[in-house]
Amino acid sequence: MAKPRNRYVCQACGSEHNRWQGQCPDCAEWNTLTVESAVVTIFSARHDLSAGGRPVELVGLDSEVALPKRIGTGIDEFDRAIGGGIVPGSAMLVGGNPGIGKSTLLLQVAARLASGGHSVVYVSGEESVDQVRLRAIRLGLGEAPVQLAAATSVRDILTTVGNGAAPALLVIDSIQTMHSDLIDGAPGTVSQVRASAQELVRFAKQRGTALVLVGHVTKDGTIAGPRVLEHMVDTVLGFEGERSHQYRILRASKNRFGGTDEIGVFAMEGSGLTEVPNPSVLFLTQRGEAVSGTAVFPALEGTRPVLVEIQALVVRLASGATPRRAAVGWDSGRLAMILAVLEARCGMSFATAEVYLNVAGGYRLSDPGADLAVAAALISALSERPVPQEAVVMGEIALSGEVRPVAHGALRLKEAAKLGFERGWVPAGLEAPGGIATTRFAKLGELVEQIVAG
Ligand SMILES: Nc1ncnc2c1ncn2[C@@H]1O[C@H](COP(=O)(O)OP(=O)(O)OP(=O)(O)O)[C@@H](O)[C@H]1O
Ligand SMILES: [Mg+2]
């Protein structure tokens, strides 16, 4: 038999190397390479694989196939994020920061399905059965017929659920605590995570059980363990939100059974996660009288508009100190760009002023269509003239100072009209729907005039 050869596997990205190094050459993380033994068998070393196999049947694309039947969980925001319900035999990976509410969400999903007559098994490798039960009681789900277990051995789990009819849903909380005895190494290492996930996914595909794996995330927000884990499952979901804010967003970053452009919005409350069917209410601050420095932008999450408030503060500095620019929920590079365009094309001077920009409610905006709303907030803050309260603002700003169109402008205006806004400040050329008036801007300078003139 060939001599086992050692290989060094990066625990952050999963890449393999022949020798140990302090820094992974692929992902540049430090101290992440650990040794794993790789056995080169005579079979893989000597045999030619191009003959001697069993022929597999090849079929055409046009053969009959039924669409996957989806099981609705009854939690609409969850179903929406995964594309319309759980697909039997599929594997889902749910990642998210510690304490964000992954276990809470999945326990609620499990309980709803179980109460709907499906068999559901919830395996916790992190908490004792009593801890999970206490959470269920706090969430008011104590009566749901979910079958609980605290276990970490994949073999034990599969033996348990493989006896008799396979459950409709199997939740594994979390994959980093699982251990496969086929492989050496502590739970949580790349090879253990990979092997455990492989076994569980194989079971799910064979028996038609929907599998949900909870995955830990690293400090930069990616799911811990090898990238390959994300390739092994059908759907990758991220559960996001600021710990200090109430709302949580469930977002798919990969989905083999549906789109990834829909989100589920929840609010974390003492009694668990509640659905938020109309997210705009969360992100619009209480609107009293008009104040300078704020503008409302109709953002789009999937097909769903979400109205968010953008706030700017401009503080004139008397001394010659370098003024600060800070942005929360908005890219600071893009803030600098908008300030530069205002400066160069519209003659507004922010040079001696500190500029702070904030997106209310802890929401994060990356849509360039929000440029015009950011500019409106900045102009309003500098000139101390409010943007009219009944207006929403959208448009992308080019370096030339032109205002560019945004995607789905009419849809955004419709949502704004539904929430009581009467006017849209929009790029020139937008076809406006009925029910809302528009003011059109072709150049950023026109916006400045509009706000300054009041
Ligand atoms: N008694 C309570 N009352 C109100 N909220 C609570 C209570 N206990 C926990 N929570 C909320 O639930 C959150 C923890 O949720 P959960 O355990 O589902 O998170 P998790 O994502 O599974 O975390 P981990 O990664 O540690 O497993 C807490 O951060 C807190 O906001
Ligand atoms: Mg948990």
Contact yes or no for 432/413 (Cβ under 8 A): yes
C-alpha span between 282 and 298 (Å, rounded): 13
- Give pLDDT, residue 32: 85
Contact yes or no for 86/73 (Cβ under 8 A): yes
Eight-class DSSP state of 432: P
Residue nearest to atom 14 of ligand 1 (CA): 99
Measured CA to CA in angstroms, residue 413 lies from 305, 330, 406, 416, 430 at distances of 9, 22, 11, 5, 10
For residue 349, the one-letter residue type is S
Query: Is the beta carbon of 5 within 6 A of some atom in ligand 1?
Result: no
Query: Is the beta carbon of 99 within 6 A of some atom in ligand 1?
Result: yes
Query: Is the beta carbon of 268 within 6 A of some atom in ligand 1?
Result: yes
- Give pLDDT, residue 282: 67
Residues whose CB falls within 8 Å of the CB of residue 294, separated by 6 or more in sequence, listed in order: 309, 310, 311, 312, 377, 380, 386, 387
- Give pLDDT, residue 184: 84
- Higher model confidence: residue 47 or residue 149? 149
Mean pLDDT of the 405-428 span: 89
Tally Cβ neighbours within 10 Å of residue 39. Answer: 10
Ligand 1 atom with least separation from CA of 96: 21
199 burial type by CB count under 10 A (0-12 exposed, 13-18 middle, 19+ buried): middle
- Higher model confidence: residue 418 or residue 329? 329
Mean pLDDT of the 268-291 span: 79
For the record, the structure tokens of 284 come out as 């619009």
- Give pLDDT, residue 225: 62
Express each pLDDT in 309-321 by its tens digit: 999 999 988 877 8
For the record, the structure tokens of 418 come out as 């539904």
Q: Give distance in angstroms: CA of 70 to centre of ligand 1.
A: 29
What stretch of H or E contains 371?
Answer: helix 371-383
β-partners of residue 274 are 267
pLDDT band for 76, please (50, 70, 90 cuts): very high
Q: Give distance in angstroms: CA of 355 to centre of ligand 2.
A: 39
- Give pLDDT, residue 400: 95
- Give pLDDT, residue 393: 96
Of all ligands present, the nearest one to the C-alpha of 106 is 1
- Give pLDDT, residue 346: 93
DSSP codes joined into one string, 334-353: HHHHHHHHHHHHH----TTE
What stretch of H or E contains 33?
Answer: strand 33-38
Contact yes or no for 216/177 (Cβ under 8 A): no
Share of the chain above pLDDT 90, in %: 53
Q: Give distance in angstroms: CA of 102 to centre of ligand 2.
A: 6
Mean pLDDT of the 62-91 span: 88
Q: How far apart are the first and last CA of the chain?
A: 85
Measured CA to CA in angstroms, residue 247 lies from 14, 128, 267, 274, 427 at distances of 33, 27, 4, 9, 31
SS3 259: coil
For residue 224, the one-letter residue type is A
Mean pLDDT of the 88-109 span: 93
Ligand 1 atom with least separation from CA of 173: 27
Contact yes or no for 230/93 (Cβ under 8 A): yes
Query: Is the beta carbon of 95 within 6 A of some atom in ligand 1?
Result: no
Query: Is the beta carbon of 244 within 6 A of some atom in ligand 1?
Result: no
Q: Give distance in angstroms: CA of 364 to centre of ligand 1.
A: 22
Contact yes or no for 370/395 (Cβ under 8 A): no
pLDDT band for 49, please (50, 70, 90 cuts): confident
Mutation test residue for ligand 1: of 104, 174, 214, 271, the one with most atoms within 8 Å of CB: 104
Query: Is the beta carbon of 100 within 6 A of some atom in ligand 1?
Result: yes
With a cut of 70, say whether residue 377 has pLDDT above it: yes
pLDDT band for 182, please (50, 70, 90 cuts): confident
Contact yes or no for 405/429 (Cβ under 8 A): yes
With a cut of 80, say whether residue 422 has pLDDT above it: yes
SS3 448: helix
C-alpha span between 244 and 246 (Å, rounded): 7
Query: Is the beta carbon of 138 within 6 A of some atom in ligand 1?
Result: yes
Determine how β-strand 304-316 pairs with β-strand 353-359.
antiparallel
With a cut of 70, say whether residue 43 has pLDDT above it: no
Mean pLDDT of the 207-233 span: 80
Contact yes or no for 311/286 (Cβ under 8 A): no
What stretch of H or E contains 6?
Answer: strand 5-10
- Higher model confidence: residue 229 or residue 104? 104
pLDDT band for 141, please (50, 70, 90 cuts): very high
- Give pLDDT, residue 159: 94
Contact yes or no for 125/149 (Cβ under 8 A): no
With a cut of 60, say whether residue 181 has pLDDT above it: yes
- Give pLDDT, residue 146: 94
Residue nearest to atom 15 of ligand 1 (CA): 101
pLDDT band for 258, please (50, 70, 90 cuts): confident
Query: Is the beta carbon of 427 within 6 A of some atom in ligand 1?
Result: no
pLDDT band for 125, please (50, 70, 90 cuts): very high
Q: Give distance in angstroms: CA of 99 to centre of ligand 2.
A: 7
Contact yes or no for 397/338 (Cβ under 8 A): yes
Mean pLDDT of the 15-20 span: 86
- Give pLDDT, residue 206: 93
- Give pLDDT, residue 131: 94
With a cut of 80, say whether residue 67 has pLDDT above it: no
Mutation test residue for ligand 1: of 94, 97, 102, the one with most atoms within 8 Å of CB: 102
pLDDT band for 115, please (50, 70, 90 cuts): very high
Q: Give distance in angstroms: CA of 240 to centre of ligand 1.
A: 13
CA angle 154, 1, 226 (to 5 degrees): 35
C-alpha span between 211 and 338 (Å, rounded): 46
